[in-house]
Every structure is written in structure tokens, then in C-alpha cells.
Chains A and B, each alone.
Chain A
Amino acid sequence: MGMTITEKILARAAGVDRVVPGQLVDANIDVVMCHDVTTPPAISMLVEKGIDRVFDPDKIVVTPDHFQPAKDVQSAELHKRLDDWARRHGIKHYYKLGRAGVCHALLPEQGHIRPGEVIVGGDSHTCTYGAFAAFSTGIGSTDLAAAIATGKLWFKVPASMKFVLNGSLPPGVYSKDVILAVIGRIGTDGALYRAMEFVGPALAGMSMEARMTMTNMAIEAGAKNGIMAFDDTTQTYLRQHLKESTAYQVFESDRDAEYLATETFDCAKLEPMVALPHLPSNAVPIGQCAGRPMDQAYIGSCTNGRIEDLRLAARIMKGKQVAIRTLIVSSTPEVWKQASDEGLFDVFYSAGCVISAPTCGACLGGFMGVLAAGEKCVSTTNRNFVGRMGHPKSEVYLASPATAAASAVEGKLTDPRKYL
């Protein structure tokens, strides 16, 4: 029996020839991602246990993002703890304010993600990096502390589920709509403990940015990781972004690899999707919810705050005025610079949007656009749980940047296809 790409990467990292689902392995970690919310407690644990060490200062990537720039005194203290620690251990890849960005956009962009590697991060959306044929998963602070100190973690090898994406996306439909349709079908625990392996011709037409939007939300179906095969698009992106260590190993699933289930989607038939409150799985086609009045639009986050997302939003807003509060939040300084160079900020400014520094901001209800009781926000982010973006009685509607931009213009949920 063959192995899946997830099984092969875990076997490689555990130093064994093969692994099977359910098997416990001790895997060597290639990259550890650290941010400002979950890393400070991990540091405190290590100090307290008398094991304040890092397994390799070159393999840890640090960026404050959730509450950066510091939103209050307490978050400033978290940043200070992170900063003291990063300096103390000579962390090589430490992105400080000015170069810091939303972690899952920043790491691939700055060349820290390589195929075949095992990447862990103290953030549930760490599964994003699976778009690069890598195994990556989100962990809590204790795991993070263990990974920082030892460079190893235990994993239970997940069984894989295959998602076959046939056809190509019609105009106005994007990878965000695909992943919302997937989660809508299987539910928020439809892939609990599983690897979600995405395959099929629809992927070939997607950029790495678009693919990352999909693997980013694997956790919203409960998955351990999301993963995609390496192809020319992956290779081109890596050629442009890898800086120092440019070697990597490409794994692919065997033809006779075993899958727990296979779900097939005809992407040509998909429509723009909106996930209604309060679960990402409450996904419906725009036709079923268009017209609902909104109070705010939020375009940003690790899901959809990349340059092509901002380009798409600008294309729709060009020459128009937004009817509701609209926030544009670039995910990284490089995205910010590029958007500025391309004149996108002029479009957003003229349309009446506010343009933020890179931050996770209001995506998780931190700051920079949190909601009051009863308010509704159409958002390109990944979660619409109760209270996610502010008051427990506010509502979040998840959508693509195109749908969010069209909805911003009309002040209500709007089918973006009329603007394209």
C-alpha cells in the first residue's frame, strides 16, 4: 500500500521508512513560527522549568502580528517579552515592527516555507503552509515551548481525506468561495484530526496566494493539516521567494495511497459563497443572502490580505464610493508597499476606505475595526464565531475579497459578478 504526501513527510521527519495513520511519531521540526499571543507564555514556561533554550536560533521565525502595533499596555508587555527573548537567543529571523506582518502571509513571502518540511506554529492557521507541499500544523503554547527547546514534537499520523476540485473557476468565483463550499459540505468537524489533501485541475489555475487561502482554512473543518502537491506554480513562487536555503525535497502521494474519504467538487458550477453567522460551515451561495444590510467591510487577514486580494478589491471599488465603513488591511509590509506602488491606496482612499498597517487587527476582535452590539461585518477573514470580531452580539459574514468589496460599495451583501 502506498503513502500519502502527509505520511511521507512525517515519515521523513521521524526518520523512518513508512508510517500509517494513527501511528505516534516523534518528528523533527524544520521551522517554528512564533507570534505575540501564544509565544510569550511558552517563553515563561521554559524559563520557569529552567530550560530557557532554543533548539536552533536559525529555524525559529518570529513576528508579532495579532496585537501589533501594540494596542494597549498589556499587549505592549507581550511584545516586550517576545522581544527580550528573541534578542537573548539571537533569533535570526525576527521581524520587528516595520517588517513584521501577519505570520501566515509573511513566512512564505519571506522565503521560510519549503516543500517537504515540517512546520509548526503557535497559531491554528499554521496549516496555511501546506499549499507548498509541506506538513504544517497549529499548536498551543506548551507544544510551542517543547518545539522551541527541543526541535521535536510528537504527532499522531493523520488519516487523509481527498478533495478533488474539478473544472475551473467561473468569473467572480475565487479560491475563498471554493474552501467555503468545501467546509459548507463537510462541516466544521468534517475533517477532524485528518489531513485535507486538495487535488484536481482547478488548483492548476490558482496562484500560490489563492491556494494558501484554501489550506489556511483547513482548520475550519477541524483538520490537522491541509496540503497540496508541488507543481510549476509552486516552483516559480519558491524561485522568487526563497532566500538562503533554497534546497528542498518534493514528496507526492502514491497512486495507491489510502484515503478515508474522497469528496469531489465541480468548481465550474460554484457561485460566490458567503458563510453566515456563526460558523464557517454556514456557507450559502450569494443568491441566498444578497441584500442583507452590512455596517462594515473588512479586507485583510492571513486568509485574504495578500496583494492579489487587494488588487481585486481595488478593481471593484475603482471610481466608486463605499457605503459602509471599510478597512483595508495589508497582511505584510511588502504587500503594503506593492499596493502603494500600484496605486491601489489611491483607489481605496478615493472610495472612502481606511488603510491600516499590517496586523491581525479586528479579524480576531483585537483592535482596528471591532464591532459594536448588533453590527454586521462582511469580512475576508476565516472565522465568524460568536464575538469573533467584537461584541458577542455582532455578526460576521465570511466572503471573498470581491464579494466584500462589492458589498462595501452597496452597503449590503452583493454579488460581485455585476462589477466584474
Chain B
Amino acid sequence: MLRSRDDKKTQRQKSEVWPMAKAHVYQRDHINTDEIIPARYLNTDKEAELAKHCMEDLDAGFVKKAKAGDVIVAGDDFGCGSSREHAVWAIRGAKVQTVIARSFARIFYRNAINCGFYLIESADAVDKIKDGDEIEIDYDAGVIKDETSKTKIQFMPLPDFALEIIRDGGLLDHIMKTSA
């Protein structure tokens, strides 16, 4: 049986604007993959199943309160721990638009790029965005507009090689395109 995937969704992230996306702020460092998707749910790789348990061991109410396009905001070292890409799939499956963090753990960051899922590393944004703020992200310009506090926050876009992978829809599509 194949894992259900919706490639259009990953490509939509950059081009589609989610107005009034809500920020869910977790002012904590080292939010790890076991909290994002506990191993007791790793007996499946179906994104829709994983999404039901997104962030469960950090905030059991997350899935209920998050709506499509919302954003997770966190401290340093987000996604540390396991190499399970299920952590990215759970977040993407929960229709979270992106994660903004002070810094990301290496494998999680790489997995996200490989899945075509854009992450934002910005200490400034983490300092300024408050829980519940409504924000809008312009990925191409590298700007987060916080509608609640009426501030504009600039962020450094991903490096070119990562953008290429994301534009192609993920690593496998990128490889198929570049090796064709």
C-alpha cells in the first residue's frame, strides 16, 4: 500500500497566501521529534493518521486548536532527536503552514527541505511574535507581517540549493528533474 501524499500541497506552501494565519507560540528550546510525533504512532506512515497526533506530547490540544495555515513558533533546536521524517509529515498533515524557530535541529531541517516544506529560521520573529498573533508570510520577499502587533519582520530566505529542491517539489522530484 502506498503512503497517501498530496504533492500539490507542498508546492502550495510558497505560492498560496494564508490570510490570518494564527501563531502558536511555544517559548521552549529543544522541542524534539518524540514530542512532535511520539514513537507509539510510528507504526504507520500515513500523513493523515500522523497529523491526528501532531505535537501531542508537548500540547495535547494542538490539533484541535490549529486551523489550516496556522504557524508553529518555537525556540532553539526545534526537531532535535530522531531522524523520523514522520515529524515533518505530522506537521504538514496537520495543515501547518510552516514552523518559525530560532534554530532547527539538523536532520529535521534537512527532512523538511527534502519534503519541499519551507521552514523559517528567525530569532527576531520568535522574539516578536506573540501566541495568538495573526500573521501573513511572504516567502519570496522574506517578510512576516504580524497583523496583531502591526510589525513587519524580515527573515533570511533559505539558501539557493534548498530553494531549488523546494521549487521542484522535494528532493526526489529535484533529482528526477536534474538527472533527466
Q: State whether B34 touches A140 (Cβ < 8 A).
A: no
Q: Annotate A121-145 by CB proximity to B: 1 below 8 A, 0 otherwise.
A: 0111010000000000011111101
A290 interface hit (Cβ, 8 Å): no
B residues less than 8 Å from A141 (CB atoms): 45, 85, 111
B141, CB-defined interface residue at 8 Å: no
| A241 to B57 Cα, complex, angstroms | 41
- For the complex, what is the distance from the CA of A387 to the CA of B175, rounded to whole Å? 37
Checking B29, B44, B81, B172 against A124 with a beta-carbon cut-off of 8 angstroms, the contacting residue is B81
Query: Beyond A193-B106, A222-B77, A386-B58, is A40–B40 a contact (Cβ under 8 Å)?
Result: no
Please determine whether B103 and A189 come into contact, CB atoms closer than 8 angstroms: yes
Taking the complex as formed, is A192 at the interface, i.e. its CB lies under 8 A from any CB of chain B? yes
Report the count of interface residues on A (CB-CB < 8 A): 54
The 0/1 profile, CB within 8 Å of A marked 1, for residues 71-89 of chain B is 0000011001111111010
Determine if A188 and B83 form an interchain contact, defined as CB atoms under 8 angstroms apart: no
A142 to B170, CA, bound (A): 8
Q: Contact residue range for chain B?
A: 35 or more
Considering residues B3, B106, B173, which has the most beta carbons from chain A within 10 angstroms of its beta carbon? B106
CB pair A47 B2 closer than 8 Å: yes
The answer for the CA separation of A37 and B56 in the assembled complex, in Å, is 19
How many residue pairs link A and B with beta carbons under 8 A? The number is 142
Given A41-B45, A78-B43, A142-B171 in contact, is the A192-B84 Cβ separation under 8 Å? no
- Which positions 33-72 of chain A face chain B at CB distance < 8 Å? 37-38, 40-41, 44-49, 51, 66-67, 71-72
Min CB distance A389 to B, Å, is 9
Contact of A37 among B3, B34, B42, B111 (CB under 8 A): B42
Bound complex: CA A2 to CA B120 (Å): 35
- Which A residues touch B156, using CB under 8 A? none
Residue pair A139, B45 in contact (C-beta under 8 Å): no
Chain A residue numbers with a CB within 8 Å of B39 are 66, 364-366, 388
Identify which of B35, B39, B111 gathers the most chain A CB atoms within 10 Å of its CB. Answer: B39
The reply on A10 being an interface residue by CB < 8 A is no
Measured CB to CB, the closest approach of chain A to B58, in angstroms, equals 7
Beyond A49-B172, A385-B32, whether A67 also contacts B161 by CB under 8 A is no
Residues of B within 8 A of A49 (CB): 172-173, 176
Residue of B nearest to A191 (CB): B106
Given A74-B43, A192-B106, A222-B106: A142 touches B161 (CB 8 Å cut-off): no
Q: Are A192 and B57 in contact (CB under 8 A)?
A: no
Instruction: Check if A51 sits within 8 Å of B172, measured CB to CB.
Output: yes
In Å, the complex CA distance between A149 and B3 comes to 18
Interchain residue pairs A-B with the least CB separation, the first 5: A140-B85, A140-B111, A74-B43, A142-B114, A41-B45
Chain A contacts to B: CB under 8 angstroms: 24, 37-38, 40-41, 44-49, 51, 66-67, 71-72, 74-75, 77-78, 81, 122-124, 126, 138-143, 145-146, 149-150, 154, 188-189, 192-193, 219, 222, 224, 279, 364-366, 370, 383, 385-388, 392
18 more CB-based (< 8 A) A-B contacts, given A67-B43, A193-B106, A279-B30: A37-B42, A38-B83, A44-B3, A66-B42, A72-B43, A78-B43, A140-B110, A141-B111, A142-B114, A142-B115, A142-B172, A145-B171, A189-B80, A219-B107, A364-B34, A366-B39, A385-B32, A387-B35
